[in-house]
Structure 1
Amino acid sequence: MGFLIDAKRLVFGIETKKTTYAFAIDNLGLVRHLYWGEKIDSLDDFDVPPLSEISSNDPILDLTDEEYPVYGGMRYKENCLKVLFADGTRDIEYKYDGYTQTDEELVIHLKDAHYDFAFNLHYKVYEELDLIERFVSLENKMNESVTVEKIHSAQLHIPYQDLTLTSSHGHWLAEFQEFKQPLGQGKIVLENRRGISTHNHNPFFILDRQATETSGEVYYGILKLSGNFSTIIEPRPYGGTLVQMGINPHDCLLTLNAGETFVAPAMLFGYTTEGFEAMSHHMHDYAKQHVLREGVRPVLYNSWEATEFDVQCDEQIALARKAKEMGVELFVIDDGWFGQRHSDADGLGDWYVNEEKFPEGLTPLIDAVKGMDMMFGIWIEPEMVNPPTQLLKDHPDWIYHVENRVNDTSRNQMVLNVTLPEVQTFIFNMIDDLLSKYDIDYIKWDANRPISQTGLSREMWVRHIEAVYDIARRVKERYPHVLLEACASGGGRVDYGMLENGFDDFWTSDNTDAYDRLTIQNTYSYVYPIKAMRAWVTDANNRVTIPLRFKFHSAMMGTLGMGCNILKFTDEEMKLSAELIEEYKEIRDVVQNGDFYRLNHTSRNNYYCYEYANESEAALFVFLPQTQIARTGVRIKLRGLDETATYTFMLAGAEVRKTGAYLMNHGIDVKLSGDYASTIIKFKKSE
């Protein structure tokens, strides 16, 4: 497994546990895609027949299944790379320039036939996970600059057109709304143009052929980018479907100066014949094995709903005491602790502790939290500034703005030009000062508006997020114990670019309604890891009062947090919260580190059923938001168990013992009643 190379015929294969991906250098010197699908062991089986034109309206360059099509010649299809040379040439004619291979990577080297300009196709393989990673790097070896008008990271070829696209759409408070649509004969474009937020679409795609959770062909991929991305899906006139992902070319130009290189964000993709469940397991395992730190995430309490901007030291300590009584492990003070921050109209940028709210600084609060044996976290929004702040008065040129235009504000704030080295230094030093001065374990990094008025710079859409990544990596290198949470008005920065550049957790959505979160979390689970999904119990809901138990069960499906005003909790609510937090800790390892299953059922009632399982235990979550007229229960068949082992669990108040084979093939009957009913059933494997 790994890389297979026929050096004589220039045929290349990438082999995973169950799949093969193959391409070759053809008779025209083009990098031609050959195959992506179930495993084929021998490269000898792959022919590379010469291409010939079908008609004068179907040029060879347009018909060739190129691995990485460029703009140039008689190509009218979507291209991955378009550049402008210094002499005005807007065309690439490439030739094969060899390959290099290590244990970790295969690189195909291509160069322009006239200009000393090279681009390299990079391939990595995660064999056991049936995943491949692709990206492209550019090298300008000339004395003149090159302007990059478009750069996509990869193009994939799928040999079918009868496919269904699954991805997400939405908006603030409604991120990760799943949609499905059949491919027609037009082009589908999913994108982000806002620089920061991706509430509307997310950089992933899933294409299937009548697949179910456990069967059927599924092709899928994600882009490791947090900013402006573009996904293009296009059925081809002569069959098959193309998928491209990369930096959105909208308003974007990159200048590659003499001697410079540029590396595009990576695209991770996979294929399975075993349905959506296998896809999710591969992506989750990739995150757990190659991205996320080991261990379990702490139970969190965040003070925002209790106090909003009106934070006071004594009240925060009182909240911490109540949180500790419940079993919380991490106390996070949210917005309002700094500058003249009494509303969203001031304070951002003036990152000093407000002395009226904290006369002795943050030390008394942190000491109190640490004295209760809890971790301490803090909220920041380092890329933003409010107009009244001293920072903006001292540095009016530090924001994105357009001359002769009124500066845009949204949520009463402007966006710092993070592409400036002095702004990057300011942000890093601010965070470094906080972490060196105070014993902080957790940072909630927020970003509450899109970027606008970018002026003459058209590469800032890329450079801004590169700078954010760089700052986060530097912070983690200096303070490796600190957990970073990616937040952008909720789920605006849920992507692998954030995870692989220093961040540990996602704030999944500002919508904390426990019922809404079931659908948000379901779509999130397709490609993103459960362990990074922060989910809170809060006072907020968009409907009639939801029981506290249902709220907890919904939030326990990820990394549990709380945001209620617990100072107003009754003794009964405190007791129930403590019991449920303790129950979460009992199943936390299997929830965060186990395998996740979206379970199907045939009940006439609208049950939501999910399972987490590892080698020794499983946890089954069952939700019934509303009992229908037919008061029917649900038969649930579990998955991922040891069919030869016996499992012990509680059902209807009695201890039950069943084999894994029975639980997976026959299943168990569960009946909930009323509105917003829920239960968790824990299965222990017998020794």
Structure 2
Amino acid sequence: MGFLIDEKRLVFGVETAKTTYAFAVDNLGLLRHLYWGPKLNGLEDFEVPELSELSSNDPILDLTDEEYPVFGGMRYKENCLKVIFADGTRDIEYKYVGYTQTEEELIIHLKDVYYDFEFNLHYKTYEEQDLIERTVSVKNNTQAVVEIEKIHSAQIHIPYQDLTLTSSHGRWLAEFQEFKQPLGQGKIILENRRGISTHNHNPFFILDRHATETEGEVYFGILKLSGNFSTIIEPRPYGGTLVQMGINPHDCLVTLQPGEEFVAPAMLFGYTNEGFEAMSHHMHDYAKQNVLREGVRPVLYNSWEATEFDVHCDEQIALAKKAKEMGVELFVIDDGWFGERHSDADGLGDWYVNEDKFPEGLNPLIHAVKDMGMMFGIWIEPEMVNPPTQLLKDHPDWIYHFKNRVNDTSRNQMVLNVTLPEVQEFIFNMIDDLLSKYEIDYIKWDANRPISQTGVSRDMWLRHIEAVYDIARRVKAKYPHLLLEACASGGGRVDYGMLESSFDDFWTSDNTDAYDRLTIQNTYSYVYPVKAMRAWVTDANNRSTIPLTFKFHSAMMGTLGMGCNILKFTDEDMKLSAELIEQYKQIREVVQNGDFYRLQHTSSNNYYCYEYANETEAALFVFLPQTQISRTGVRVKLRGLDANAQYTFTLAGTEMKKSGSYLMNHGIDVKLSGDYASTIIKFKKA
């Protein structure tokens, strides 16, 4: 497995455990896609038919399934690379000049026939997860500047047109709303143009042919980039569908100085003929084995809902004591601890402890939290600044702005120009100062508005997020124990770019309504790991009263947190919360590190059924938001168990023991009643 190369015929193969991806250099010298699908027995059977024009209206360059199409010649299709050479030429004519193979990577070298300009296609495999990673690096070997107008990381070809697209749309408080649509014959573009990622679309796609959770062909991919991305999906006139992902060319121009090289963000993609479940397992396994920190995430309490900006040391300690009584392991103080931060109109940028709120600094709070045996966390929004702050008075040119325009404000704040080295140092030093002075275990990094008035440099959309990545990596290199949470007014920064740049958790949405979260978390689970999904129990409620148990069960589907004003909790609330947190701790290992299943059922009632399983145990979550007239139960067939083993569990108060084969093929009957009913059933392998 890995890479196959037929040097004589210049046919290349990329193999995973169950798939083959193949391409070749054809008779015109073009790098041409051949195949992507179930695994084949080598490259011998591949033929590379010679291409010839069909008509003057069908140029050969436009018909060819190029592995990486460029802008140039008679190409009218979507391209992945478009440049402007110093003499004004806006055209690439490339030739294949060789390849490089290492243990981890296959690199195909392509070069312009006239200019000393090269671009190299990089391929990497994650064999057991059946995933392929692609990116492109471009190098300017000329003696003049080359400008890149568009650069997409990769293009993939799917041999069908009768496909259904699944992805997410949304807005603030409604991220990760699943949508499905047939491709038809139009071009579909999913994108972001806001700089600080987006709640509207997410950089992933899923294309299937009549697939279910457990059957059918599924093609999928993600882009490892926060901020301005572009996904283009287009059925081709002569059959098949192409997908491109990369940096959004909107208002973007990357300048390459002589001798300079640029590497695009990576695209990760895969194929399975075993349905959406296998797709999710491949992506989750990739994250758990290659990206996420080992171990389990702590149960968190965040004080925002209890106090908002009105934070004071004594009250925070009182909250921490109540949180500890319930079994919380990490106490996080949110916004309001710094500067003149009494509302969202001031304070951002002045990162000193407010002496009125904390007369003796943060240490009394931190020491109290630590003495209780809990970790301590804190909220920051380092990319932003409020106009009244001393920081902006001292450095008025540190924001994105046009000198002849009124500065844009949103949420009473402006965006720092993080592309400036001095701003990067300011942010790093601020975080470094906090972490060196105080025993901080967790940072919630927020970003609450889009970027605007970006100035004359049109590459800043990309450079901004690259700078954020770099700061995060520097921080984690110096403080490897630190947990970093990515937040952008909720789920505006949920992507693999953030995960792979040293962030550990996502704040999935500012919407913490327990029922709404079921749909948000369901769509999130398609490609993102459960372990990184922060989910809270809060006082938020978009409908009639939801029981505390339902709230906990919904939040226990990810990495559990709390945000209620627990100072108002009754003794009964405290007791129940402690019991449910303890229940979560008993299943936390399988929830965060096990395999996740979206279970299907045939009940006429609107049940939501999910399962987590590993080699020794499983946890079944069943929700019934509202009982229908029929008042029927649901038969749940489990997944991922050992068919030959026996499992013990308790159902409706009765201890039972059944075989894995029985549980997966016959299933168990669960009946809930009333509104917002829920249960968790634990299965232990005997």
TM tier, shorter chain?
A: over 0.9
**1:603-641, Cα deviation, whole Å (9 max, x unpaired):** 000000000000000000000000000000000000000
**1:357-415, Cα deviation, whole Å (9 max, x unpaired):** 00111000000000000000000000000000000000000000112111110000000
Amino acid at match of 1:537: V
**2: CA distance, partners of 1:417 / 1:541:** 37
Amino acid at match of 2:513: D
Residue 237 (structure 1) aligned with residue 237 (structure 2): yes
Report matched runs for 1:460-499 at 5 Å.
460-499=460-499
Which position in structure 2 is the counterpart of 1:604? Answer: 604
**2: CA distance, partners of 1:15 / 1:263:** 24
Which position in structure 2 is the counterpart of 1:449? Answer: 449
**2: CA distance, partners of 1:629 / 1:273:** 38
**2: CA distance, partners of 1:342 / 1:15:** 57
**2: CA distance, partners of 1:620 / 1:567:** 32
Which position in structure 2 is the counterpart of 1:129? Answer: 129
SS in 1 for 2:276: helix
**2: CA distance, partners of 1:183 / 1:540:** 38
SS in 2 for 1:110: strand
SS in 1 for 2:44: helix
SS in 2 for 1:129: coil
Amino acid at match of 1:302: N
**2: CA distance, partners of 1:662 / 1:241:** 41
Paired residues of 1:189 and 1:233 also in contact (CA < 8 A): yes
Which position in structure 1 is the counterpart of 2:636? Answer: 636
Which position in structure 1 is the counterpart of 2:306? Answer: 306
SS in 2 for 1:44: coil
Amino acid at match of 1:439: E
Which position in structure 1 is the counterpart of 2:352? Answer: 352
Amino acid at match of 1:151: I
Deviation at 1:457, TM superposition (A): 1.4
Residue 569 (structure 1) aligned with residue 574 (structure 2): no
Residue 389 (structure 1) aligned with residue 389 (structure 2): yes
**1: CA distance, partners of 2:109 / 2:637:** 50
Deviation at 1:657, TM superposition (A): 0.3
Report matched runs for 1:201-212 at 5 Å.
201-212=201-212
Amino acid at match of 2:144: E
Return the TM-score normalized by structure 2.
Answer: 1.00
Residue 278 (structure 1) aligned with residue 278 (structure 2): yes
Paired residues of 1:604 and 1:632 also in contact (CA < 8 A): yes
Amino acid at match of 1:401: H
Which position in structure 1 is the counterpart of 2:557? Answer: 557
Task: Extract structure 1 runs of 4+ deviating beyond 2 A.
Answer: none
Report matched runs for 1:268-667 at 5 Å.
268-667=268-667
SS in 2 for 1:457: coil
Which position in structure 2 is the counterpart of 1:54? Answer: 54
Amino acid at match of 2:465: I
**1:136-174, Cα deviation, whole Å (9 max, x unpaired):** 001011121110000000000000000000000000000
Which position in structure 2 is the counterpart of 1:668? Answer: 668
Amino acid at match of 1:617: E
Q: Name structure 2 gaps, 5 residues minimum.
A: none
Which position in structure 2 is the counterpart of 1:165? Answer: 165
SS in 1 for 2:463: helix
**2: CA distance, partners of 1:378 / 1:41:** 54
Amino acid at match of 2:198: T
Deviation at 1:197, TM superposition (A): 2.8
**2: CA distance, partners of 1:119 / 1:659:** 56
SS in 2 for 1:45: coil
Report matched runs for 1:104-143 at 5 Å.
104-143=104-143
Paired residues of 1:197 and 1:449 also in contact (CA < 8 A): no
Which position in structure 1 is the counterpart of 2:88? Answer: 88
**1: CA distance, partners of 2:665 / 2:537:** 34
**1:240-263, Cα deviation, whole Å (9 max, x unpaired):** 000000000000001011111110
**2: CA distance, partners of 1:521 / 1:336:** 29
**2: CA distance, partners of 1:215 / 1:198:** 32
**1:448-488, Cα deviation, whole Å (9 max, x unpaired):** 00000112111000000000000000000000000000000
**2: CA distance, partners of 1:315 / 1:62:** 67
Deviates more, 1:402-411 or 1:424-433: 402-411
Which position in structure 1 is the counterpart of 2:74? Answer: 74
**1: CA distance, partners of 2:613 / 2:539:** 30
Which position in structure 2 is the counterpart of 1:199? Answer: 199
**2: CA distance, partners of 1:526 / 1:89:** 43
**1: CA distance, partners of 2:428 / 2:26:** 49
Amino acid at match of 2:52: S
Which position in structure 2 is the counterpart of 1:685? Answer: 685
SS in 2 for 1:476: helix
Deviation at 1:42, TM superposition (A): 1.7
Amino acid at match of 1:234: E
Amino acid at match of 1:105: E
**1: CA distance, partners of 2:449 / 2:577:** 34
**1:303-347, Cα deviation, whole Å (9 max, x unpaired):** 000000000000000000000000000000000000000000000
**2: CA distance, partners of 1:116 / 1:477:** 37
Paired residues of 1:134 and 1:268 also in contact (CA < 8 A): yes
Paired residues of 1:165 and 1:207 also in contact (CA < 8 A): yes
Amino acid at match of 1:340: E
Amino acid at match of 2:309: F
Amino acid at match of 1:38: P
Paired residues of 1:12 and 1:22 also in contact (CA < 8 A): yes
Q: Name structure 1 gaps, 5 residues minimum.
A: none
Which position in structure 1 is the counterpart of 2:249? Answer: 249
Amino acid at match of 1:424: Q
**2: CA distance, partners of 1:198 / 1:523:** 16
Deviation at 1:576, TM superposition (A): 0.2
**1:25-67, Cα deviation, whole Å (9 max, x unpaired):** 1111111000000111220110011100010111110011001
**1: CA distance, partners of 2:517 / 2:240:** 36
Which position in structure 2 is the counterpart of 1:32? Answer: 32
**1: CA distance, partners of 2:260 / 2:354:** 45
**2: CA distance, partners of 1:295 / 1:8:** 48
**1: CA distance, partners of 2:152 / 2:656:** 55
**1:171-228, Cα deviation, whole Å (9 max, x unpaired):** 0000000000001111000000000132000000000000000000000000000010
Amino acid at match of 2:635: R
Please, what is the CA RMSD of the aligned residues? 0.4
**2: CA distance, partners of 1:97 / 1:421:** 38
SS in 2 for 1:379: strand
Alignment coverage as a number of residue pairs: 686
**1: CA distance, partners of 2:25 / 2:461:** 34
SS in 2 for 1:52: coil
Deviates more, 1:523-532 or 1:455-464: 455-464
Return the TM-score normalized by structure 1.
Answer: 1.00
**2: CA distance, partners of 1:672 / 1:624:** 7
**1: CA distance, partners of 2:353 / 2:97:** 58
Deviation at 1:681, TM superposition (A): 0.1
**1: CA distance, partners of 2:403 / 2:73:** 40
Paired residues of 1:161 and 1:235 also in contact (CA < 8 A): yes
